[in-house]
Amino acid sequence: MADNRFFSARGPLSLGEIALKIGGNLAKGVDETLTVEGVAPLDLAGPRDLSFLDNPKYATAFERTRAGACIVHPRLASRAPEGLLLILSEQPYRAYALAAQMFHPEEATGGDTYGERGVIHAGSIVHPSARLGEDVTIEPGAVIGAGVEIGRGTMVGANASVAKGCTIGKNCFIGPNVTVSHAHIGDRVILHPGVRIGQDGFGFAMGLPRHEKVPQLGRVIVQDDVEIGANSTIDRGAGPDTVVGEGTKIDNLVQIGHNVEIGRGCIIVAQTGVAGSAKLGDFVVLAAQVGVTGHLTINSGAQIAARGAVVHDVPPGQQYGGVPAKPIAEWRREVVELRKLGRRKKQSGDSGE
């Protein structure tokens, strides 16, 4: 069970209502009225917990689990220990995510951090012209600027700053120490602690006698259901806007430059950098520490392997990797050939010096 000092759980919930929510089926003979009180990993779960098995690598833990119920793919159901109640699903991990959201809905949407939901705390500063919807939470130390609009049910964490003129939609989570400026943010957006939205893009006219700053006159548009990880930064546009498309998920420590356009449903993993004016289509995946050069296009469905350096446009649906990034099969062949070359040099005694 999750530590109740941090995670409040709704329950108990019946196996029948869980199966209905997650699109699973109860195994033959399972009473749909039986209940569980929470979710837990296979090796930590107790008789009142629901667990799951997705990866066959953990089948041994599944065989030994003390969980009361488990979500499992039908092909692995026969390995269940005696007495374990099963919910069958073709996508156990996705089904578990939906079940866990039933018990811990705030962990999927962002909860308050101070402990008082729906309160405009006296220790915050809210400009008289700001417009706040019903059930908005403003925690201590937060500053809400002139003309800001914040939708119903949104939570703004301690010491966060929402600068003048910004708009934030409904049921958002703006974490502690977040700064938002020059931005319009949609509904159900999660900004984890330390996120920076809307600061200057890095724009200078370089030369003598000094580098001249180019005023950054665009905005940041964050569409609905976007999640942005801790200490990530998204610069506002220089003229056109910087755009983050609906449903995109951005990990911690990611840098998005000015004028970047990110499509719907993209996944951008930790320590990735996307330079100014690059464009990502829908459902693009950038693995950890990818670097994307400015003014190029990564088309919809493309995937870039970790530490790839993208210096040319990437066609739709392609997998690229390496430095510079190239089609994944080509990159892998090069890695194999370099390994062979290294072995031959070693066997011949050639140090390469």
For residue range 300-319, list pLDDT tens digits in order.
999 999 999 999 999 999 99
Please give the Cα distance from 301 to 338 (Å, whole number): 29
| pLDDT tens-digit series, residues 253-284 | 999 999 999 999 999 999 999 999 999 999 99
- For the cut 60, the answer to whether the pLDDT of residue 227 exceeds it is yes
Active-site residue list? 258
Cis ω for the linkage preceding 324 (within 30 of 0)? yes
Residue 1: predicted pLDDT: 67
Q: Are 46 and 1 in contact (CB under 8 A)?
A: yes
DSSP 167-208: EE-TT-EE-TT-EE-SEEE-TT-EE-TT-EESPPP--EE--S
DSSP reduced 3-state for 102 = helix
Please give the Cα distance from 305 to 288 (Å, whole number): 8
What are 331's strand-pairing partners? none
| pLDDT tens-digit series, residues 177-219 | 999 999 999 999 999 999 999 999 999 999 999 999 999 999 9
| pLDDT tens-digit series, residues 22-53 | 999 999 999 999 999 999 999 999 999 999 99
Question: Where exactly are the structural domains of the chain?
Answer: 13-109, 181-353
Q: What is this structure's pTM?
A: 0.92
Mean pLDDT value across the chain:
95
Confidence of residue 7 (pLDDT cuts 50, 70, 90): confident
Confidence of residue 111 (pLDDT cuts 50, 70, 90): confident
| pLDDT tens-digit series, residues 131-178 | 999 999 999 999 999 999 999 999 999 999 999 999 999 999 999 999
Indicate the DSSP class of residue 352: -
Q: Which CATH superfamily is domain 181-353 in?
A: Hexapeptide repeat proteins (2.160.10.10)
CATH number for the region 13-109 comes to 3.40.1390.10
Residue 9: predicted pLDDT: 85
pLDDT (average), residues 62-82: 97
Q: How far, rounded to the nearest angstrom, does the alpha carbon of residue 49 sit from its chain's CA centroid? A: 26
Q: Are 222 and 197 in contact (CB under 8 A)?
A: yes
Helix, strand, coil % over all residues of the chain, rounded to 5: 15, 25, 55
Residue 34: predicted pLDDT: 97
Please give the Cα distance from 267 to 227 (Å, whole number): 10
DSSP 255-271: EE-TT-EE-TT-EE-TT
